[in-house]
């Protein structure tokens, strides 16, 4: 019984990774957010943000990418269930995309709060 649970766990983990990799390979928005997230992490490393700021930035990046993956899953299911145009199918896709927009705006505000002081200090140092 214990062995079955472990193999079930690893199978589930493998399927989850397969889903993430599929989304990264096929969805340009997810690719964009991975590149943007990596850029933010490089900027965080360069600007030596605090440990708390690291946590907030990682949370924001993960939220955006998670929302994008969920949006992709919803789009796949809607396309499977309703291959022809239907107003409710379109609205479901729009609502899912709205979740990505909300998390992206949240992440942008977090980025501004974390990096504005750092970039301001850098700009002042460059002038003098």
Q: What is the pLDDT along the chain (128 residues), one digit of tens a residue?
A: 556 666 899 999 999 999 999 999 999 999 999 999 999 999 999 999 999 999 999 999 999 999 999 999 999 999 999 999 999 999 999 999 999 999 999 999 999 999 999 889 888 888 88
pLDDT of residue 7: 81
Residue 68 marked in a binding site: yes
Residue tagged active-site, from 44, 68, 69, 104? 68
What's the confidence (pLDDT) of residue 2?
A: 55
Q: How far apart are CA 77 and CA 30, in angstroms?
A: 18
Catalytic site residue 125?
no
75 is in an annotated binding site: yes
Sequence-distant (6+) residues with CB within 8 A of 62 are none
Question: What are the structural domains of the chain?
Answer: 28-127 (1.10.287.3610)
């Amino acid at each position: 019984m214990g062995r079955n649970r472990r193999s079930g766990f690893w199978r589930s983990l493998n399927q989850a990774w397969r889903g993430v990799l599929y989304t990264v390979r096929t969805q340009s928005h997810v690719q964009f957010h991975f590149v943007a997230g990596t850029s933010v992490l490089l900027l965080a490393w360069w600007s030596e943000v605090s440990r708390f700021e690291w946590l907030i930035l990682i949370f924001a990046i993960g939220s955006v990418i998670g929302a994008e993956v969920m949006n992709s899953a919803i789009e796949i299911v809607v396309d499977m269930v309703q291959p022809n145009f239907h107003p409710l199918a379109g609205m479901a896709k729009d609502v899912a995309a709205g979740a990505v927009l909300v998390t992206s705006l949240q992440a942008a505000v977090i980025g501004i709060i974390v990096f504005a002081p750092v970039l301001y200090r850098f700009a002042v140092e460059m002038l003098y």
